Structure formats: structure tokens, C-alpha cells
Chains A and B, each alone.
Chain A
Amino acid sequence: MRKKLPTYWTLFSSAFLLSAFTFGGGYVIVPLMKKKYVNQLKWIEEEEMLNMIAIAQSSPGPIAVNTAIMVGYKIAGVLGAALSTIGTVLPPLIILTVVSFFYQEFRDNMYISAMLKGMQAGVSAVIVDVVIGLSGNVIKKKEIFSIIMMITAFIAVFFFKVNVIIVILASGLIGMLMFLYRTRKGGMNHDLH
């Protein structure tokens, strides 16, 4: 399917802006991406976005880049993935290349560290805002299974520092077992009738 030029441009510029304003990589950019692609552009459904984040998290390499590749591919195929990746990588590439010329001055600059301290509170608010929305949707569905999975995973990662990959794999396995259990139960009911 051929995509129009504006789609490619939106894909590239969104990735570029998201990456340029994401201080402290990893999970900071993921909530921002969710807000951009699910809520603002409405390109991706929330459940699909969560699936894609899970795949990005389980693959090697930076999660921001991986999520950008998934989103780009979903919207506009391999070319989309390439554009989205370039958009994500360019801001750090430019900034770090510039910073590496005079990094000591940068590191010790009072204004920069004051700005970053302020931004830390801002970014926390953005993430909490996204988490309120996402967890609210999980709770609203009233599936006990999902709610228990969410709480257990949070405790495992935040308090017990269990490796993220292990948590994802375990929850996938539990999901599969639940599915097999349900279909077997469904199958047996069929036999009875």
C-alpha cells in the first residue's frame, strides 16, 4: 500500500520531536509515544500499542528505537520503520555530537541542571497521567485476571527488581495457559451437550 507524503512526514517529525524532548530514555518516551500515536493522531489502538511496546521491550536494543520501528512499520511498512528510526535517532545524535565538543562546561552548567531538575517533575507528571489512563482502562474492563496480573507485575518489577524480560515472558506464558485452560473447559462443555 502506497502512503501519501504527509503520512511519511508526520511519522518522521513525530518521532523526531518525541525523541528531542525525551530526557532520560527508555520508559520516558513510551508513554509519550502512546499519547502521540493513540490519543492525538489516533493511528493505533491502545491495546495494539501495548502489544507493540511489549515486543519492543523484549527485543535487543534501546526500547525507544524498537518502539519507533514497530510504530513506523505498522503505519507505513519498512520505509515507515526506517523514517521513524531516523527521526528517533537524529536528536540524540546531533545533541551528543555537539555536547562532546565541550562536555565539561555542559555537565557543570547551573542553568542546564536547574532546567533538568524542573523537567524531572514534568516528565513524572506525564508518565503518571498516562499510567492513570492505561490502568483505568484495565480496571474498567473488570477482568480480575488482568487486574491481578497488573498488580503482581508492578510489585515484582518495582519492589523486587525482577528482570523485565522475565516478567514479560512469564505473563505471556500465564496468558497462554489461561487461554488453553479456557478453551479446554469450553471444549469439555461441548462434549457434555
Chain B
Amino acid sequence: MIYIKLFISFLQIGLFSIGGGYAALPLIKEQIVDINGWLTLQEFTDLVTIAEMTPGPIAINSASFVGNQIAGILGSIVSTIGCVTPSFIIVLILAWFYFRYKKLNIVQGILQGIRPTVVALIGSAGMSILSLAFWNTKGITLNLEDINVVAVILFAAALFVLRKWKPSPIFIMLGTGLIGIIVYHQW
């Protein structure tokens, strides 16, 4: 049955995509394009583009998209459940261990090592997105012509508002999205 096939395929994607995001892409492609032939490579490329443009993790986006294409709304629900089931079980087990043993000195030692790293990981992701917004895909250069001035101004204004008035990030997203429509669409 197609629902079971979808469920099992996305269960595997959920189970083996460690590191999240783009690390999962080859795995998703293998399941969707190579093994099951649910999408052509062109459709899969479109899916990645759409996933970048819409909210949510790419694995969930793929599950919803492919599930609906193959077996309708029920298909997208079944695929999505398949995708999060491994996370749900594994993270709950880890959470249980964490809250039970986090007071142990040695666990505190390990976590003390990991915390600054997590800050660095978030910083690194921020830098990647920032360079994408400022330089598009050209990579960082010092040539002023390559820099998207609108993005720099928008970024600086948003950061100023965030630091000064501490609004909910949702307002920043809506605001910059709206300005984006006005500014970029006219050019």
C-alpha cells in the first residue's frame, strides 16, 4: 500500500538525517528520486527551491510535498508522521536521560564544553545567511558593486530595532518581507 511505502521511506529519512538541513538532502533525493521514482530530478530541484522559500525543515517540507503529490492530503500527513517518528522516540529518550543525569558533575563538564560550541554553530549559520543576503551566491568579496545595498540597509535597520526595542522577531520578519515586496519588486 502506498501509504505504508511513504511512511517507511520518510521514516528512514527521519532516522538517518543526522545534522539536519542540507545534510539530509542526498538522503531525501535517494529515497524520492532514485529508489521510488516519486519525483523527477527536475521536480526535486523545484522542491528544494520551494523548501527554501517556505517555512519549516526541508525534510518535513519534502514529506508534505511528495506525500500530497503521490497520495493526496492523507499521503502528506502519513509521510510527515513517518518523518518525525524517529526524532520523537530518540529525542524523548535523550531528554529523559538529560533531565535525570544533568546534575552529575561529569555531565556538567561535558555540557560546559559543548555550550560555547553551540553559540558558535548559531553564529556560523547566521554568517552564512548574512552572506547570502548581502552577496547573493557570489561569495564574499570586497568589491562594493557586488554588495546588495538594500539588504545591508534593511539588515542594519532590523538589527537596530531589535536591539533597541526588543520586538518579537515575527514583526521583523513581516516588516522586512513587506519592505522587500515594495523595494525589490519595483526594480
A, B co-complexed: yes
Please tell me if the beta carbons of B181 and A92 are within 8 angstroms of each other in the complex. Answer: no
Structural contact, B125 and A23, CB atoms closer than 8 A: no
Main secondary structure of the interface of A (DSSP, over half): helix
Q: Name the prevailing secondary structure of the B interface residues.
A: helix
Q: Is there contact, CB below 8 Å, between A27 and B121?
A: yes
A-B Cβ contacts below 8 A, count: 387
Residue contact A57 to B65, C-beta cutoff 8 Å? no
CB of A89 within 8 A of CB of B184, answer no
Q: Are B113 and A174 in contact (CB under 8 A)?
A: yes
Q: A50-B119, A118-B178, A175-B110 are in contact. Are A96 and B105 (CB under 8 A)?
A: no
Say yes or no: A51-B154 contact (C-beta < 8 A), given A106-B50, A179-B106, A179-B110: no
The residues of B that contact A60 with a CB separation of less than 8 Å are 14-18, 86-87, 90
Once the chains are docked, how many angstroms separate the CA of A86 from the CA of B137? 34
Interface string of A173-192 (1 = CB under 8 A from B): 11110111011000000000
Q: Point out which of A35, A57, A92, A95 has the most chain B C-beta atoms below 10 A from its C-beta.
A: A92
A82 contact set on B, CB distance < 8 A: 88
Q: How far is the CA of A84 from the CA of B166 in the complex (A)?
A: 24
Q: A28-B129, A30-B122 are in contact. Are A96 and B50 (CB under 8 A)?
A: yes
Asked if A153 meets B155 with Cβ closer than 8 Å, knowing A85-B84, A96-B76, A175-B111, the reply is: no
B26 CB to closest chain A CB (Å) equals 14
A-B contact pairs, 5 of them (CB 8 A): A21-B174, A47-B111, A66-B91, A119-B173, A128-B126
Residues of B within 8 A of A (CB): 14-24, 46-47, 49-61, 64-65, 67-69, 73, 76-77, 80, 83-84, 86-88, 90-92, 94-96, 98-99, 102, 105-106, 108-130, 132-133, 150-152, 154-156, 158-159, 162-163, 166, 168-170, 172-181, 183-185
Chain A positions within 8 Å of B, measured between CB atoms, are 17, 19-28, 30-32, 35, 39-40, 47, 50-66, 69-70, 73-74, 78, 81-82, 85, 88-89, 91-93, 95-97, 99-101, 103-104, 106-107, 110-132, 134-135, 138, 146-147, 149-154, 157-158, 163-165, 167-168, 171-176, 178-180, 182-183
